[in-house]
């Protein structure tokens, strides 16, 4: 049987169901049985299309389109950061937070999954962030040798992840806006 | 059978084995069978002593002694932060990082576990950190209304967690020292 037996719509539906399950129960508890039940498909179909659970999850992660922040250009770094937050609604932040939580242990033991998560969430953020920061340096807003430059993504991702751990709440736009103004911009000397 | 059947040493040994397994395989994959095998005890003994896996894990977490940073007092905030890092070696940081990773999904669905993790890692850090910051405010190093004050723990825990996610490396003393000097102290205006 060939991969072309599923329509693109059906494939997208399956991937979305896999990501939903990941957010709900985490990687370990996500079984092919659960995916089959959720999507009303047979396990035989799933295994024909994707050979294993890691392959299915990695493909589901890659199928989700990351947001590109590199094309934001408001003229100031503060404006760019705020525009970046306005692009992602609280619902999407909750979903990303749940996804990271569900994968935290699994990516440590499964390099393919880690690579897929990096491609989906980390690398696009890194590239987009570097574009915004490079422009801020060129405008003279940030000194090129500011030691905080290499930690901007750690600050942002860290705020995202620690919000849950410390305050038992999902990260949202209000929290991240305050954090950007109180921490990230002052550390960069803006 | 009563709880007193195990010696304190044997109980400590069991808790240590539970935490080791948590770090290695995560909460979902940690089974009473695995604990029994690792500690050469019978499952009956484990269930007699602790009624369930969540109870055993929560007790193991509570048994580990958290470090108290509130009694560090070098005279400057920078000195206090650096002394704080010197107290925890890289090996312990790796262990804490593995523990958080192993519990990330489980604490979301299990309030008892979340409470135990808060008591073990989050609350002592919060209390100790607040003591250091209060002294820095009293010395006039930080303005009492600095908006970054309420985010110090998010910065530190965030650096800890994001190091793994972004750079695929365990947090260590060198990384956290650079982060404190480049991010945390400048954000606080120190």
**B58 and B92: one domain?**
no
* CA distance, residue A104 to nearest chain B CA (Å): 5
Interface with B, mutate which of A95, A100, A104, A123 (most B CBs under 10 A): A104
Asked if B158 and A154 touch (Cβ cutoff 8 Å), the reply is yes
Residue range B95-124: mean pLDDT, rounded:
81
Q: What is the mean pLDDT of chain A?
A: 88
Residue A1 lies in a domain: no
- Domain C-terminal end among A16, A31, A62: A62
Residue range A106-117: mean pLDDT, rounded:
81
Q: For residue A46, is it left (φ>0), alpha (ψ between -120 and 50) or beta? A: alpha
Predicted confidence (pLDDT) per residue in A69-99, tens digit: 888 999 999 999 999 888 888 888 888 888 8
Asked if B183 and B155 touch (Cβ cutoff 8 Å), the reply is yes
Which residue in chain B is spatially nearest to A147 when comparing CA positions? Answer: B182
Residue B22 lies in a domain: yes
**pLDDT score recorded for residue A171:** 92
Predicted confidence (pLDDT) per residue in B5-29, tens digit: 788 899 999 999 999 999 988 888 8
Cβ distance B154 to A148 less than 8 Å, yes or no, reads no
Cβ distance A159 to B163 less than 8 Å, yes or no, reads no
Residue range B71-81: mean pLDDT, rounded:
95
Cα separations in angstroms, A157 against A31, A132, A147, B97, B157: 29, 16, 18, 16, 11
Lowest mean pLDDT among A142-146, B15-19, B111-115: B111-115
Does residue A4 have a pLDDT over 70? no
Number of domains in chain B: 2
Residue A74 lies in a domain: yes
Interface with B, mutate which of A22, A128, A161 (most B CBs under 10 A): A161
**pLDDT score recorded for residue A114:** 84
Residue B162 lies in a domain: yes
**pLDDT score recorded for residue B1:** 43
**A74 and A37: one domain?**
no
**B49 and B78: one domain?**
no
Cβ distance A154 to B159 less than 8 Å, yes or no, reads yes
**B163 and B79: one domain?**
yes
**A48 and A119: one domain?**
no
Q: Is B148 on the interface with A (CB under 8 A)?
A: yes
Does residue B65 have a pLDDT over 70? no
**B144 and B172: one domain?**
yes
Q: Is B101 on the interface with A (CB under 8 A)?
A: yes
Most confident of A2-6, A49-53, B181-185: B181-185
**A147 and A54: one domain?**
no
Asked if B174 and B112 touch (Cβ cutoff 8 Å), the reply is no
Residue A131 lies in a domain: yes
Confidence class for position A29, pLDDT limits 50, 70, 90: confident
**B44 and B120: one domain?**
no
Predicted confidence (pLDDT) per residue in A60-69, tens digit: 887 876 667 8
**B54 and B79: one domain?**
no
Confidence class for position B158, pLDDT limits 50, 70, 90: very high
**pLDDT score recorded for residue A53:** 86
Residue B3 lies in a domain: no
**A165 and A111: one domain?**
yes
The parent domain of residue A48 ranges over 8-62
**pLDDT score recorded for residue A1:** 44
* CA distance, residue A25 to nearest chain B CA (Å): 8
**pLDDT score recorded for residue B67:** 66
**pLDDT score recorded for residue A89:** 86
In angstroms, the CA A46 to CA B138 distance is 63
Asked if A99 and A19 touch (Cβ cutoff 8 Å), the reply is yes
Q: Which candidate from A101, A108, A158 shows the least CB-CB separation from B105?
A: A101
CATH number, domain of A71, equals 1.10.357.10
Does residue A173 have a pLDDT over 90? yes
Predicted confidence (pLDDT) per residue in B32-62, tens digit: 999 999 999 999 999 998 888 888 888 888 7
Residue A3 lies in a domain: no
CATH number, domain of A55, equals 1.10.10.60
Residue A94 lies in a domain: yes
Predicted confidence (pLDDT) per residue in A93-110, tens digit: 888 888 888 888 888 888
**B136 and B159: one domain?**
yes
**pTM, 2 dp:** 0.84
Nearest Cα residue to A24 out of B101, B23, B108, B31: B108
**A82 and A134: one domain?**
yes
**pLDDT score recorded for residue A66:** 64
């Amino acid at each position: 049987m060939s991969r072309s037996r599923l329509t693109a719509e059906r494939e997208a539906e399956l991937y979305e169901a896999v990501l939903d399950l990941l957010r709900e129960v985490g990687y370990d508890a996500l079984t092919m049985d659960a995916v089959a039940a959720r999507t009303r498909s047979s396990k035989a179909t799933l295994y024909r299309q994707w050979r294993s659970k890691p392959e299915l999850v990695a493909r589901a992660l890659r199928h989700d389109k990351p947001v590109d922040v590199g094309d934001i250009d408001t003229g100031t770094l503060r404006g760019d950061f705020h525009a970046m937050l306005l692009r992602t609604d609280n619902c999407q932040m909750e979903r990303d937070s749940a996804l990271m939580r569900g994968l935290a242990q699994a990516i440590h033991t499964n390099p393919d999954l880690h690579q897929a998560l990096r491609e989906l969430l980390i690398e696009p953020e890194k590239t987009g962030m570097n574009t915004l920061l490079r422009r801020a340096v060129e405008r003279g807003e940030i000194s090129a040798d500011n030691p905080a430059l290499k930690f901007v993504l750690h600050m942002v991702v860290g705020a995202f992840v620690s919000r849950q751990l410390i305050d038992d709440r999902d990260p949202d736009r209000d929290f991240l806006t305050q954090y950007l103004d109180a921490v990230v911009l002052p550390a960069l000397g803006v």
